[in-house]
Chains A and B, each alone.
Chain A
Amino acid sequence: MRNQEVVSSHIQPGGVDAEQSAREVLAVALDKAGATMDELNAVVATGYGRISIPFATRQVTEITCNARGVHHCYPDAELIIDVGGQDTKVIRLDGRGRVANFAMNDKCAAGTGRYLEVIAATLGVGIGELGDLALRAKGKVNISSMCTVFAQTEVVSLIARRTGTEDIAAGVHEAIARRVRGLAASMRIRGKTVLTGGVAKNIGFVRALEAEMGSSLVIPDDPQILTALGAALMVLSPS
């Protein structure tokens, strides 16, 4: 970023080596921006690997950064629902880009992107196709297993009974939407809600969550970049 404007960005899957992944993704972003490492005034690390980045000048949790980034793009946002690959978070904002309260689900894969990855693989589709598949559902299927592993077993038996994959996909999205909705309810607020995280790119999930919550959700153009954006703003615009 420069002067609170995004110059370039890049997203790639993180590997097991946080520092290596960070170096790679930064190198690509710098290349896109036509800039070099020494032109950077600050590097803020956020997320699970943040304490392992030696070239970061600061480390801030993704909760605080997500709040900042969302507020920058949507100043009247009141609630953030962040559904990532391995955890889900909800954040209540105070109207000034600061965290008023938050809750996390990181004890269990159900309700996260991991759940959808497992099911997509079981249904034989790519993770990017799962949402569209769900939108073509004709019937209703209820996936009752709380656990990702057992949900997979449930899906396998549904397939064996010749249940349509579209209906299964819809049922799976409803199941994850119920989990996420439950976590969001703990923030006890109804208001403009922004959905972030990779799972926000799944149209099937978005529809299921909107139906579950009875209201429409704001989906950013790039729901995976807002936390990094917020991280940069932590140093560019501290207050």
Chain B
Amino acid sequence: MEREAILGFMEDLARDPSAYLAERAKNHDVRMIGCLPMYVPEELIHAAGFLPVAVMEGREPISLANSQLMTHSCGFTRGSYDSALTGALSYLDGVVNPLLCDQLRFFSDIWFETNRFRHTFYLHLPYKLDPNAAGFLLRELGSFQSGLESAAGREMLPGDLRESIRLFNRDRAAMRRVYALRRERPGLIRARDAVNLVASSMLMPREEHVALVLGLVKELEQLSSPPHVNADGVRVVLAGHPCAMPDAEVLDLVEEAGCVVVDDDFYFGGAAIRDVLDEEMPPIEALVGRYMRRTICPTKDDPSVFAPLGSASYRSNQAEHLIHLARESRAEGVIYLREIYCDPFDFEYPFLRERMDEVGLPFLPIGTEHEIGTLEPVRTRVQAFVEMVRQRT
């Protein structure tokens, strides 16, 4: 399949997966478990014989959901709930809620009351990332596994989970290769292509996805020049926008307005592909290890980041991670999509901002929400940011 066709397929799938998934559920007898964001161990679901599928925010204006959810619920809870109410998620056999934040914790009662899925799973992922919580997570994943086995009607075989981890590792490695190619030669793919690449991995069987990605890698390696190059562009890392797909129009605008995206740390992006799980150790422990050591998120409390009183600037592990990414990719700045009504990210933001100012890394926040509205203010911000950075050099 050609590069354009692969990217086009991934874009269509990420934009609206419902038709594709409904057809697969019906004709291929595939049972699907919807994963609410974030950090659900998809490998475990796959090992139990299901297709793990990301539940998406959707792009339609909210209608029915507003009758039961406050309008200041985050875009993901309102959008995904609206999809469920319209029956757009009927292809799901079950849903797992990782109880990520207050929104997902309390909204789950509303969700599960009005949308009766055959199987519902609550996954109590620990809030505090310290060794004491690892034992708890191990038991929690054990319960999740039992629940999945019961839903599947069969037990997992020894080796099933290891195989799944291997497969997901391969897919992530292939996607990392695309990201590495983009870092070396920005403009090889657009920012929206990178996001679609990762989103599509969570919306289709990984076995098929990895084949597509390897085909894409081959084509990208052979390209003599990047199709979307901007020689004067300001090199930026994109971040923020947890739980849901960032708007393609906003990503396009960032590039149009004078930036070159060299990396991203989105949930549907760089954050999902960076982990390599150890394939030799007991598989369930590998899943625990990933969660405990690699979750860089305001929804979690990471004791290793907590700084003594008075050095408040270090209370954002996102900050250190973004600084690291910017250095690795020789970025000149960070553009951060702040999803409106996201409390955990809002409360960490002042520390993130302060740390960016401290190290002198140009940083542009852009507020986003489910309702896109007009993009002109975004264009002005991005262009002013580009002018500001260029005037320094």
Q: Which residues of A contact B (CB under 8 A)?
A: 48, 51, 60-64, 87, 98-102, 104, 106-107
Q: Once the chains bind, are B380 and A62 in contact (CB under 8 Å)?
A: yes
Q: Which residue of B lies closest to A87 (CB)?
A: B377
Decide yes or no: A64 and B377 within 8 Å by CB, A99-B391, A107-B367 being known contacts: no
B233 to chain A, nearest CB (A): 16
Q: Once the chains bind, are A48 and B384 in contact (CB under 8 Å)?
A: no
Q: Once the chains bind, are B377 and A106 in contact (CB under 8 Å)?
A: yes
Q: Once the chains bind, are A61 and B376 in contact (CB under 8 Å)?
A: no
- Nearest 6 interchain pairs by C-beta: A63-B384, A61-B384, A106-B377, A64-B387, A99-B388, A98-B391
Contact of B387 among A63, A87, A104, A107 (CB under 8 A): A63
Decide yes or no: A104 and B376 within 8 Å by CB, A98-B388, A99-B387 being known contacts: no
- When distances are taken between beta carbons in the complex, the residues of chain A under 8 Å from B379 are 51
**Mask of B370-393 contacts with A, CB within 8 angstroms, 1/0:** 000000110111011001100110
Q: Once the chains bind, are A99 and B367 in contact (CB under 8 Å)?
A: no
A105 to chain B, nearest CB (A): 10
Interface CB pairs A-B, < 8 A, 25: A48-B376, A61-B387, A62-B380, A63-B384, A63-B387, A63-B388, A64-B384, A64-B387, A64-B388, A64-B391, A87-B377, A98-B388, A99-B384, A99-B387, A99-B388, A99-B391, A100-B388, A101-B357, A101-B388, A102-B388, A104-B380, A104-B381, A106-B377, A107-B367, A107-B377
- When distances are taken between beta carbons in the complex, the residues of chain B under 8 Å from A101 are 357, 388
- When distances are taken between beta carbons in the complex, the residues of chain A under 8 Å from B376 are 48
Q: Which residue of A lies closest to B257 (CB)?
A: A61
Decide yes or no: A61 and B380 within 8 Å by CB, A98-B388, A99-B391 being known contacts: yes
A107 to chain B, nearest CB (A): 6
**Which secondary structure dominates where chain B touches chain A?**
helix
A144 to chain B, nearest CB (A): 18
Q: Which residue of A lies closest to B354 (CB)?
A: A188
Q: 16 extra interchain contacts, Cβ-Cβ under 8 A, other than A61-B384, A99-B391, A102-B388? A: A51-B379, A60-B387, A61-B380, A62-B380, A63-B384, A63-B388, A64-B388, A98-B388, A98-B392, A99-B384, A99-B387, A100-B388, A104-B377, A106-B380, A107-B367, A107-B377
- When distances are taken between beta carbons in the complex, the residues of chain A under 8 Å from B384 are 61, 63-64, 99, 102
- When distances are taken between beta carbons in the complex, the residues of chain B under 8 Å from A102 are 384, 388
B127-142 CB contacts (< 8 Å) to partner A:
none
Q: Which residue of B lies closest to A63 (CB)?
A: B384
Q: How far is the CA of A51 from the CA of B376 in the complex (A)?
A: 10
B318-353 CB contacts (< 8 Å) to partner A:
none
Q: Once the chains bind, are B391 and A61 in contact (CB under 8 Å)?
A: no
Q: How far is the CA of A216 from the CA of B252 in the complex (A)?
A: 43
Q: How far is the CA of A51 from the CA of B381 in the complex (A)?
A: 14
Q: How far is the CA of A100 from the CA of B392 in the complex (A)?
A: 9
- When distances are taken between beta carbons in the complex, the residues of chain A under 8 Å from B388 are 63-64, 98-102
Q: How far is the CA of A104 from the CA of B357 in the complex (A)?
A: 17
- When distances are taken between beta carbons in the complex, the residues of chain B under 8 Å from A63 are 380, 384, 387-388
Q: How far is the CA of A48 from the CA of B375 in the complex (A)?
A: 11
Q: How far is the CA of A210 from the CA of B388 in the complex (A)?
A: 28
Q: How far is the CA of A64 from the CA of B391 in the complex (A)?
A: 10
**Mask of B93-121 contacts with A, CB within 8 angstroms, 1/0:** 00000000000000000000000000000
Q: How far is the CA of A48 from the CA of B384 in the complex (A)?
A: 12
Q: Once the chains bind, are B387 and A48 in contact (CB under 8 Å)?
A: no
Q: How far is the CA of A101 from the CA of B391 in the complex (A)?
A: 12
- When distances are taken between beta carbons in the complex, the residues of chain A under 8 Å from B377 are 87, 104, 106-107
Most chain A Cβ neighbours within 10 Å, of B357, B367, B377, B391? B391
B35-93 CB contacts (< 8 Å) to partner A:
none
B49 to chain A, nearest CB (A): 46
Q: How far is the CA of A206 from the CA of B162 in the complex (A)?
A: 68
B371 to chain A, nearest CB (A): 11
Q: How far is the CA of A61 from the CA of B384 in the complex (A)?
A: 6
A67 to chain B, nearest CB (A): 9
- When distances are taken between beta carbons in the complex, the residues of chain A under 8 Å from B391 are 64, 98-99
- When distances are taken between beta carbons in the complex, the residues of chain A under 8 Å from B387 are 60-61, 63-64, 99
Q: Which residue of A lies closest to B378 (CB)?
A: A106
Most chain A Cβ neighbours within 10 Å, of B367, B380, B392? B380
Q: How far is the CA of A62 from the CA of B384 in the complex (A)?
A: 8
- When distances are taken between beta carbons in the complex, the residues of chain B under 8 Å from A106 are 377, 380
- When distances are taken between beta carbons in the complex, the residues of chain B under 8 Å from A107 are 367, 377
- When distances are taken between beta carbons in the complex, the residues of chain B under 8 Å from A61 are 380, 383-384, 387
Q: Which residue of A lies closest to B373 (CB)?
A: A107
B100 to chain A, nearest CB (A): 25
- When distances are taken between beta carbons in the complex, the residues of chain B under 8 Å from A98 are 388, 391-392
Q: How far is the CA of A62 from the CA of B387 in the complex (A)?
A: 11
Q: How far is the CA of A106 from the CA of B391 in the complex (A)?
A: 24
Q: How far is the CA of A44 from the CA of B367 in the complex (A)?
A: 28
Q: How far is the CA of A98 from the CA of B392 in the complex (A)?
A: 8
Q: Which residue of B lies closest to A188 (CB)?
A: B357
Q: Which residue of A lies closest to B381 (CB)?
A: A104
Q: How far is the CA of A63 from the CA of B390 in the complex (A)?
A: 14
**Mask of B136-168 contacts with A, CB within 8 angstroms, 1/0:** 000000000000000000000000000000000
B210 to chain A, nearest CB (A): 41
Q: How far is the CA of A99 from the CA of B107 in the complex (A)?
A: 43
Q: How far is the CA of A61 from the CA of B389 in the complex (A)?
A: 13
Q: Which residue of B lies closest to A62 (CB)?
A: B380
Q: Which residue of A lies closest to B369 (CB)?
A: A107
Q: How far is the CA of A65 from the CA of B361 in the complex (A)?
A: 23
- When distances are taken between beta carbons in the complex, the residues of chain A under 8 Å from B381 are 104
A212 to chain B, nearest CB (A): 21
**Mask of B6-23 contacts with A, CB within 8 angstroms, 1/0:** 000000000000000000
Q: Which residue of A lies closest to B392 (CB)?
A: A98
